Structure 1
Amino acid sequence: MIVLDGNSLTLDKVRRIVMDGEKIQIAQKSMEKVIKSRFAVEKIVSTHKITYGINTGFGKFSDVEIDKKDVHALQLHLIRSHACGIGEPFPELVSKTMIVLRLNALLKGYSGVRPLLVERLQYMVNETIHPVIPQQGSLGASGDLAPLSHLALALIGEGEVWQDGKRIPALDSWRSKGLTPIKLKAKEGLALINGTQAMTALGVINWLEAEKLALQSEEIAAMTIEGLHGVMDAFHPAIHEARGYPQQMAVAERMRNILHDSKLTTRQGERRVQDAYSLRCIPQVHGASWQVLDYVKEKLEIELNAATDNPLIFDEGETVISGGNFHGQPIAFAMDFLKVAVAELASISERRIERLVNPQLSDGLPAFLSPQPGLQSGAMIMQYAAASLVSENKTLAHPASVDSIPSSANQEDHVSMGTIGARHAYLIIQNARRVLAIEAICAMQAVEYRGVIKMSTATRLNYEEWRRIVPSIIEDRSFSIDIEKLSLHLYDHKAKESIT
């Protein structure tokens, strides 16, 4: 059981909740803060103190006063009008993460919602009721308004949810549980949708997948090194200590550990003095990607515990401040940075694939790893496919955060586009995983020519595991199926050990 208190959520705790299915409970002290902030909102309503989003309109309508009798209807209209999400829905894992993050933010006690609402969000997480949320439509400032409105729709019995793996109307879900939809009261609609939880939720899933991918990229690269009789001297600790980057040193150490008992690697001068950069510079390039992962983790874990709605209520209602914590620029930058880091893991992987299939570079391997070069093409077009994915990643890696389009009659005149950045990062990760699957297929074929019995203990275990999914290339076949199967296995396969 993981306790949410608004202040101590971590990436690992999110993983345990959304991927491992751990239940959550709400810290009592945090619930007390929620109650106090709700009392402050009710006091504002009763005294008709003009406060943004409670008794005023939204955005450019912030100067329009709302009559006391209409403050509840204001919130309902807000959710319905802002639920303009379009496109395919986010993966269910992302939807669940959005609920967890929104709940955690509300538990900080600055948002003014009722305990009933936070308890219902807790129920949705624990009972696996997840809103269907379209991916497109957020500008990433003023909060992820459109996506979070679809989350809020589920609470009020509108829209759709996933329940027990089925996509059903939200109202049917509540009825099946013997519950009634939430009727939003003052401030609650705004508190639900003013925030960065769409981009941050997808950012969390991206990071968790990118971490796993980065570890797997080292395991796959190690097998390629064996297939190409790579020179181990490039991983000597003295080289990496001389430069001083901890992540670079860590990658070099892991490569040494993976390959420590291999009979297929070589030493400087045995077959060649030094390898090409895609082998020799694995610690430097992969290490730089790990630096980005560390940066992104830091920003995400701040945002996991951030109050990002507007206005925020302090001093038990004595101080209510309109600000801009909903602006997604920090996460927008982080996602754009993550895109580049993962794209580079795929880029250097594709170069290693080229060395495995190119007879002028592969140190005696059959051309394109073909069982009958000329009659059969072997892995020739797998390299084409990898190159295509890498090229697509270059387009997706263009920073979303450098763009901004004004909205709400120029009241909201600068936005982050952070959700677009997160979505593109997700696509880059999928592409990179397929590139790495292609490298693994080619590396397995290469080590078969070199002698599987000479592999290191660690790479041999991977070889045997992956060979159960992708058989040896003894004749040309449709390799599309193999790539997808191994890519899916890499996605589902739990990383052997998190190093964070």
Structure 2
Amino acid sequence: MIVVDGASLTCADVVAVAPGGAAVVLSEEALKAATESYETALVVSATRPVYGRTTGVGANRDALVGTGDRETHDLRLLLSHAAGVGERLDDTVTRAALLVRLNQLAAAGSGIHPRFLQALEAALRTGSVPAVHDAGSIGTGDLSMLAEIGLTLTGHVPWATGHVPPIVLDPGDALAFLSSNAVTLARAVLVGDELSRLLDAAHVVAALSYCALGGASEAFAEQVHARRPHPGTVDSAARMRRLLWHEGDLSPGRRIQDPFGLRAFCQVQGPALEAAGYLRRVLEVEINAAAENPLIDVGSASAYHHGQFSTAYPALALDNLRAAVHHVAELSAARLGDLVEPEYTGLPAFLANGPSGSSGVMILEYVAHDALGRLRHSAGPVTLGTSVISRGVEDHASFTPHAARSAASAAQSYRTVLACELVAAVRALRLDDAIPSGRALARIFTRLADAIPDIRTDHQLGEEIRTAADLLPDLADSAREGP
């Protein structure tokens, strides 16, 4: 049961609710606070111009909305902003967005009628999902997507799944509901969690490659990382020591120095771990924020016009994480190259096991480097562009939605790269008839050997790659556990 109070929602909560799992309940205190915000908005709007309530929006900010026209004006806002183009959002993302928007409204700064909070809670409780199309957002508010949700809540468009009784649209409700980046934040939370889990799983995959390659444990020694103690690198090295069970036993390995894929693993992995942690912290501020413009503040009984709709923080955090993940994926592909090289493994080229000229796992490198190339395209920064729209009034955009979409593409590619390395590492250990000496890693390897088919003659490798990719989330949990 996740209690929505506008202040304590976590990324883990969003991840739990998104697939339709955890139950959601709106706190009575949050509903009361939202009611007070709504009542304050009515008073303030009667005494001074308030953007989107007594005026139009964007370049129409100086156009006054007549008192007899307000409800129609709000409906016009929803209808005109709901473009309804692009691919339909996955239900998981939509449910996450409903939760984020509910929690933001529970922070009680929008002045929206509290019935909107109750309707969102009902949708999450009953599994009702609106049809939301993924287009029209540039990082200054998910206007088109939220307009579609608003029209669904008010009964103007049908639900895609389930049904919640339609609610009345009061004057001022439209902009109060639209003024958010909830959909983008929801997607960022989900992809941030996925990338974080893949980064965790990478420790297990790299540890298996280390064993197959006869790596030297000195690179992970506590003494080494204490002398340049970046938190992510120190954390990564500690995880590798737990998996390999080499504390106090610095095995020399087969070489005086390993290739970078092993020797510099923690130094490259560390920045990615920190980037994932930073993104999580940024998003947990955002999903608990009363960032609607204008802010209706009960304490001062005032409306404040501002720029809190800007999402520069998550945009830059997403750009940073994608770039860091690309570096990590490069090392995974490099280790895969080492695993098919007899000089490093002492095994046949391409881990082949059959007549002369057998290809073994040769194709894994092609698949991995194709995925790495796609990841490289996804890793480019989106925050270098901007836009000037609405007759020049809105002259900056962070393009955070594009950063989140690129992160989802990067996650898919990185998963494939890791899966290819995992298939090769397991095959190398099987061909060498070896079991990792570390107790934790030996248990993991036994589970993997049971799950990944052991076919040593040349054959299609698609099943192994898909199976390995599906196993990565479980490996992430193993990477967090002690020996």
TM-score range, shorter chain: over 0.9
Contact 2:204–2:475 (Cα < 8 Å) also in 1: no
1:347 has 2:330 as partner: yes
Quick check: 2:3–2:27 contact (8 Å CA) kept in 1? yes
Deviations 1:351-408 (A, max 9, x none): 1111111334x33121111113653212111111111111111111111111111111
Q: 2:240, 2:436 → 1: CA distance?
A: 17
1:193 alignment partner, one of 178, 181, 196: 178
CA distance in 2, matches of 1:151, 1:323: 24
- Percent sequence identity is 30
Q: Distance in 2 between matches of 1:291 and 1:383?
A: 28
CA contact (8 A) 2:2 2:22 kept: yes
Match among 334, 349, 353 for residue 317 of structure 2: 334
For structure 2, list consecutive stretches of 5 or more residues without a partner in the other structure.
Answer: none
The aligned residue for residue 495 of structure 1 is 477
Confirm whether residue 273 of structure 1 aligns to residue 256 of structure 2.
Answer: yes
CA RMSD in angstroms, aligned pairs only: 2.3
- CA drift at 1:161: 4.2
**1:253-402 superposed matches below 5 A:** 253-260=238-245, 267-268=251-252, 271-315=254-298, 318-360=301-343, 362-372=344-354, 374-402=356-384
**Counterpart Cα distance in 2 of 1:495 and 1:79:** 43
The aligned counterpart of 1:147 is: 145
Letter matched to residue 251 of structure 2: R
Query: Match of 1:224?
Result: 209
Q: 1:315 to 1:389 in 2, by over 3 A?
A: same
Amino acid at match of 2:3: V
**Aligned mate of 1:234, from 202, 219, 238:** 219
CA–CA distance in 2 between the matches of 1:358 and 1:442? Answer: 11
CA contact (8 A) 1:359 1:366 kept: yes
- Separation in structure 2 between the aligned mates of residue 435 and residue 189 of structure 1, nearest angstrom: 45
1:156 equivalenced with 2:154 (yes/no): yes
Rounded Cα–Cα distance in structure 1 between residues aligned with 2:156 and 2:461 = 44
Give the TM-score, by structure 1 length: 0.90
State whether residues 154 and 169 of structure 2, in contact with CA within 8 Å, keep that contact through their aligned partners in structure 1: yes
Aligned partners of 1:4 and 1:25 also within 8 Å? yes
Unmatched tracts of structure 1, length 5 or more: 164-172
8 Å contact kept, 2:429–2:435? no
Q: CA deviation at 1:491?
A: 4.8
* TM-score where L is the length of structure 2: 0.93
Match of 1:52 in 2: 51
Match for 2:112: what amino acid?
V
Q: 2: distance between equivalents of 1:81 and 1:373? A: 67
Shift of 1:44: 4.7
Residues 268-316 of structure 1: CA deviation (Å, up to 9, x unaligned): 3x52111011101111111121111121121111111111211111146
Pair 1:366–1:314, CA change in 2 (3 A): same
The structural deviation recorded for 1:133 is 2.1
1:404-452 Cα distance to aligned partner (Å, 9 max, x none):
1111111111111000001100110111011111110000011112223
Distance in 2 separating the partners of 1:41 and 1:4 = 22
2-structure distance, mates of 1:198, 1:298: 18
Farther off after superposition, 99-108 or 6-15? 6-15
Q: When the two structures are aligned, how many residues end up with a matched partner?
A: 480
Instruction: Give the aligned partner of residue 168 of structure 1.
Output: none
**Which residue is 2:399 aligned to?**
417
1:471 corresponds to:
453
- How many angstroms does 1:104 deviate by? 0.9
Check 1:366–1:190 CA distance in 2 against 1; reply closer, same or farther (3 A cut): same
C-alpha distance in structure 2 between counterparts of 1:489 and 1:37, whole Å: 47
After superposition, give the CA deviation of every residue in 1:134-170 in whole Å (9 maximum; x if it has no partner).
22321111x111222222232123445453xxxxxxx
- Counterparts of 1:475 and 1:464 in 2: how far apart (Å)? 21
CA separation of 1:153 and 1:485: change in aligned 2, threshold 3 A? farther
8 A Cα contact 2:192 2:276, kept in partner = yes
1-structure distance, mates of 2:159, 2:350: 48
Alignment of 1:8-23 (within 5 A): 8-19=8-19, 21-23=21-23
Aligned 8 A contact 1:371 1:473 in 2: no
Against the structure 1 CA distance between its residues 451 and 261, is the aligned structure 2 distance closer, same or farther, given a 3 Å change threshold?
farther
1:432 to 1:183, Cα distance in 2 relative to 1, 3 A = same
| SS of 1:251 mapped into structure 2 | helix
